[in-house]
Structure 1
């Protein structure tokens, strides 16, 4: 694999992680297939283990709270590409708020991802979300 390809892959995977956070914040569930693989597996404290794009999207839709918004801020992203697979990890701060008001709940997460190169580009095949801390404001 050339250095240029490796760099391009790392950038695309970093973008994928950022687009995942933005998808969650903007509640664009219909766009999930542009970020998540059809056979995605998500491990989260709220949903347990969810398998398949349809189940993950269904869970996200069901978890919406009227009037509540989130802002995910992702930091410390590390990406390790190995051919057509990649591992990534990041820290994330999630702020839960209502329009025009300070956050009422904040959490720190550790996230790990497995990505795969598909004919449509890189997609997340596994997402593991582990809470580090929470604070009610």
Structure 2
């Protein structure tokens, strides 16, 4: 495989990783977190503060689940800047919070800066910076 084809494949895999991250959150598949995150993942967000390691990240998410509340994460504008076995990734996103069969009661727009790394198991997220842009109560 040529370098150009490798870069294209890496970009596809990283974009797929970002989609799998959103689905993991929406489907609440916490036991699959290692398919998305590196073991030493770091998450920086206004809501969660500084979280380090898969255990801390999943623990925070589980503690903050609201019974009956669902989410739909939409991620757009995925920009991948490859540098060997590491990539800087930027995204925009909208998250809808809703209860089954009802319109969203809360919506938030955000920007993310991520670092993805190549591991023996494939690309994984090592670091995420979540920056809310706006919110709307419905």
TM-score by length of 2: 0.97
Superposed CA deviations along residues 40-91 of structure 1, whole A, max 9, x for unmatched, are: 0001111101001111011111111000000001111100111000010110
For structure 2, the residue ranges without an aligned partner over 5 or more in a row are none
Corresponding position of 1:31: 32
Tell me the number of residue pairs that the alignment of Structure 1 and Structure 2 aligns: 137
In structure 1, the residue matched to 2:71 is 70
Asked whether 1:42 is paired with 2:43, we answer: yes
TM-score, scaled relative to structure 1: 0.98
The unaligned stretches of length 5 or more in structure 1 are none
State whether structure 2 residue 107 is matched by structure 1 residue 85.
Answer: no
Corresponding residue of 2:22: 21
Within 2, Cα distance between the matches of 1:68 and 1:38? 28
Give structure 1 regions of 4+ aligned residues with deviation exceeding 2 angstroms.
Answer: none
Cα distance, 1:116 vs structure 2: 0.5
CA RMSD of aligned residues (A): 0.8
